[in-house]
Amino acid sequence: MNIILLGPPGAGKGTQASRLESERGMVQLSTGDMLRAAVKAGTPVGLQAKAVMEAGELVSDAIVSGIIGESLDALGDETQGGRGAIFDGYPRTAAQAESLDTLLTERGRTLDHVIELVVDEDALVARITGRFTCANCGAGYHDSFKQPAVAGVCDVCGSTEFKRRPDDNEETVRTRMAEYRAKTAPILPIYEARGLVQRVDGMADIAEVTAAIEAILDGQS
Ligand code: ADP
Ligand code: AMP
């Protein structure tokens, strides 16, 4: 099974993708995470992407579709036990949606669900500016909504180092939301016409959102 989680920045795509990854044996493919890793490593892709990401704009379609193709290759053949993909933050434009169709078809995979996380835009700035992650394992947290069980200690790996994204500031968030409205929201009708879109209330508690997504994946809603 291959699915897309779609929604504006801060909708909870990464949070849900990592929960589905551990609960269902699927693999989270986050273009944002891959690009941040490329920036950190100083690769040619990272050097091209850095300033664009800091401005909250979109990296070129060719770059992100290229890294998704490589990630799908690394997952292997789904009919031979290769795991299903959860696309998180990709596709973000009509051209990327078209590339994804080709990339999947070429590898004998199909797109099974597009799940839209529906959120109240006013809540997103608070979600994003309160976001932080474990510097060691990447587990996601929030100042108000998801603190570690023991303050200052990662629930998953016990690390005491945390970090915040340079683009998680109010000004950049506004640009990222404008990019979402202008370039990403318009791809929903493409998938709606194919009967693939289901909506989930992204304002519910994290566990409730996961349960709603799992019901869709299990064909119960
Ligand atoms: P996205 O990947 O869509 O940008 P994230 O999954 O990183 O969003 O979530 C943004 C922030 O909001 C994180 O700090 C996360 O802990 C928090 N968050 C995610 N889902 C919820 C939710 N349903 N309720 C409250 N906070 C949430
Ligand atoms: P994210 O982690 O999904 O919030 O993405 C962080 C940033 O990475 C975005 O603001 C973009 O600059 C870039 N990015 C991530 N995914 C894509 C994509 N599919 N297309 C273009 N840019 C992307």
Residue of 59, 167, 173, 176 to mutate, ligand 2, most atoms within 8 A of C-beta: 59
Residue 184 has pLDDT above 80, yes or no: yes
Mean pLDDT for 182-201 is 98
Question: Could you tell me if the CB of 56 is within 6 A of ligand 1?
Answer: no
**pTM tops 0.95:** yes
Residue 73 has pLDDT above 80, yes or no: yes
Using the atom order of ligand 2, give the atom closest to the CA of residue 92. Answer: 19
**If you measure from the C-alpha of residue 94 to the centroid of ligand 1, how many angstroms do you get, rounded to a whole number?**
25
Could you give the CA distance from residue 8 to residue 98 in angstroms, rounded to a whole number? 20
Residue 221 has pLDDT above 80, yes or no: no
**If you measure from the C-alpha of residue 211 to the centroid of ligand 2, how many angstroms do you get, rounded to a whole number?**
26
Question: Which class for 125: exposed (0-12), middle (13-18), buried (19 or more C-beta within 10 A)?
Answer: middle
Mean pLDDT for 163-188 is 95
**What is the model's pLDDT at position 46?**
96
**What is the model's pLDDT at position 122?**
86
**What is the model's pLDDT at position 81?**
83
**What is the model's pLDDT at position 121?**
87
Using the atom order of ligand 2, give the atom closest to the CA of residue 52. Answer: 12
Q: How many CA atoms lie within 13 A of 210 on its CB side?
A: 14
Question: Could you tell me if the CB of 146 is within 6 A of ligand 1?
Answer: yes
Q: Picking from 80-89, 176-185, 201-210, which range would have the lowest pLDDT averaged per residue?
A: 80-89
For the record, the structure tokens of 20 come out as: 């589905």
* Active-site amino acid positions: 13, 92, 131, 165, 176
Q: What is the dihedral of CA 66, 91, 27, 139, to 10 degrees?
A: 100
Please report which confidence band the pLDDT of residue 82 belongs to, taking 50, 70 and 90 as the band edges: confident
Please report which confidence band the pLDDT of residue 67 belongs to, taking 50, 70 and 90 as the band edges: very high
Could you give the CA distance from residue 55 to residue 216 in angstroms, rounded to a whole number? 35
**If you measure from the C-alpha of residue 59 to the centroid of ligand 1, how many angstroms do you get, rounded to a whole number?**
22
